[in-house]
């Protein structure tokens, strides 16, 4: 039962807030499902085009790399920074040289590099240097093609191995190698089909839950929650509480127990003893003839309504 001090308008606001939140979640799921369907149709169109043309694989594949940034480079200047730039080599052949980022130990490049691949025997090496006018070697690392053989996008941090074999920082690289278009499109068609089915199930359950909140059962349940508790029965006259005159027993934890009281149906003396109302802490659920309006936690009320509706539906 909700506290009697919570007004009807407060509960309606919380109820409407819960409905609005669920509708927003529905709209987001519909938008997400639509995006997945667009991407799935794109891959299916490319897949059908490959079947019609009769070309299953790429004659000359490419690995696309994005050298984004580096971090924790060693101090190469007097101000404890460096002037780093990087080079990309494939089979000892220079492919790309980046620009210099001055006075920093955490450079950001965001440079795209595409390398032609004929087989998995290629050796790709990335080197980081300091100061292009008088280059000083900082470190290097190798990129293995086998780590990109699944044709999905990977984001990795590579350790820079310095001239003495110690770590001289890290470099972040995002890469993807596409070499089999048929399997590539099949993989993404399967992926988006799974995401569409998963989100559609979630959307169906969410829609069913919202509809139940609008049903007659939900309205009746809401009215039951809003019904204030009945006022307590008036206390009996102290003259009829003859067990108040019974002296305290030897066991102080038992006052007016059924053994010492003529009637076992009567309540203990402490329950209606004088002064107990002054020491008692009033519960927020207690009845009050003078309604008060404390601050209401709308989120808690909304969750309370949702949980009660879910429990009632589960019992059915």
Q: Where are the alpha helices (DSSP H) in the chain?
A: 8-53, 181-213, 216-226, 276-279, 298-315
Q: What is the pLDDT of residue 218?
A: 53
Q: What angle, 0 to 180 degrees and rounded to 10, lies between the N-to-C axes of helices 8-53 and 181-213? A: 160
177's enclosing H/E stretch is strand 167-178
Helix 298-315 to helix 216-226 angle, to the nearest 10 degrees? 130
State residue 271 phi and psi, 5-degree precision: -65, -35
pLDDT tens-place string over residues 102-159: 999 999 999 999 999 888 889 999 999 998 788 899 999 999 998 998 899 999 999 9
Question: CA-CA distance, 87 to 126, in Å (whole number)?
Answer: 6
Determine the pLDDT at residue 287: 40
Average pLDDT score over the chain: 76
Alpha-carbon distance of 144 to 301, in angstroms, equals 56
pLDDT > 60? residue 281 = no
User: How large is the angle between the packed helices 298-315 and 8-53, nearest 10 degrees?
Assistant: 70
- Judged by average pLDDT, the poorest of 131-145, 220-234, 266-280, 292-306 is 266-280
β-strand partners of 143: 124
Q: Confirm if 165 and 118 have CB atoms less than 8 A apart.
A: no
Query: What does the H/E/C string look like for 277-310?
Result: HHHCCCCCCCCCCCCCCCCCCHHHHHHHHHHHHH
Neighbours of 90 (CB within 10 A): 18
Count the residues in the chain.
316
Q: State residue 293's pLDDT score.
A: 47
Which pLDDT band holds residue 165 (cuts at 50, 70, 90)?
A: confident
User: Rounded to an integer, what distance in angstroms lies between the CA atom of residue 224 and that of residue 2?
Assistant: 10
**Among 5-19, 164-178, 267-281, 297-311, which stretch is predicted with the lowest mean pLDDT?**
267-281
Rounded Cα–Cα distance for residues 87 and 99 (Å): 10
**How far is Cα 184 from Cα 149, in angstroms, rounded to an integer?**
11
State how far the Cα of 172 lies from the Cα of 155, in Å rounded to an integer.
Answer: 7
Q: At what angle do helices 298-315 and 181-213 cross, to 10 degrees?
A: 90
48-to-52, 188, 230 alpha-carbon distances in Å: 6, 14, 71
Q: Backbone phi, then psi, for 66, in 5-degree steps?
A: -125, 110
pLDDT of residue 286: 41
Q: Which fold has domain 61-179?
A: Immunoglobulin-like (2.60.40)
Task: For residue range 186-230, list pLDDT tens digits in order.
Answer: 999 999 999 999 999 999 988 888 887 777 555 555 565 555 555
Give the residue-averaged pLDDT of 31-56: 88
List the strands of the sheet with 136-143, edge to edge. Answer: 93-97, 84-90, 124-130, 136-143, 154-161, 167-178, 61-71, 108-117
Secondary structure (3-state) at 21: helix
- Which of 173, 92, 62, 81 lies closest to 131, judged by CA? 81
- Give the domain ranges of the chain: 8-12+213-315, 61-179
* Alpha carbons 5 and 281: distance in angstroms, whole number: 16
pLDDT at 225: 54
CA 41 vs CA 53, 150, 226: distances in Å: 18, 21, 50
């Amino acid at each position: 039962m909700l506290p009697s001090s919570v007004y009807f308008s407060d509960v309606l606001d919380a109820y409407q807030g819960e409905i609005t939140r669920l509708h927003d979640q529905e709209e987001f799921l519909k938008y997400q499902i639509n995006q997945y369907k667009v991407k799935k149709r794109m891959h299916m169109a490319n897949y059908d085009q490959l079947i019609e043309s009769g070309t299953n694989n790429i004659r000359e594949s490419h690995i696309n790399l994005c050298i984004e940034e580096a971090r924790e480079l060693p101090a190469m200047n007097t101000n404890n920074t460096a002037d780093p730039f990087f080079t990309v080599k494939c089979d000892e052949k220079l492919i790309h040289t980046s620009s210099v980022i001055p006075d920093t130990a955490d450079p950001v490049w965001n440079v795209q590099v595409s390398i032609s691949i004929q087989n998995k025997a290629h050796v790709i090496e990335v080197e980081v240097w300091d100061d292009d006018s008088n280059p000083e070697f900082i470190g290097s690392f190798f990129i293995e093609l086998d780590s990109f053989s699944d044709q999905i996008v990977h984001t990795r941090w590579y350790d820079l191995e310095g001239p003495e074999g110690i770590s001289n920082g890290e470099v972040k690289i995002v890469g993807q190698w596409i070499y089999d278009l048929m399997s590539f499109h099949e993989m993404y068609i399967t992926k988006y089909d799974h995401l569409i089915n998963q989100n559609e199930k979630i959307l169906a359950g969410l829609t069913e839950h919202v509809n139940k909140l609008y049903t007659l059962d939900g309205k009746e349940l809401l009215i039951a929650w809003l019904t204030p508790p009945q006022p307590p029965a008036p206390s009996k006259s102290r003259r009829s509480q003859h067990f108040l005159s019974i002296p305290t027993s030897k066991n102080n934890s038992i006052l007016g127990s059924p053994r010492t009281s003529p009637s076992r149906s009567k309540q203990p003396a402490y329950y209606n003893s004088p002064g107990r109302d002054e020491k008692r802490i009033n519960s927020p659920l207690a009845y009050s003839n003078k309604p008060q309006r404390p601050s209401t936690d709308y989120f808690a009320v909304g969750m309370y309504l949702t949980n009660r509706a879910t429990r009632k539906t589960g019992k059915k």
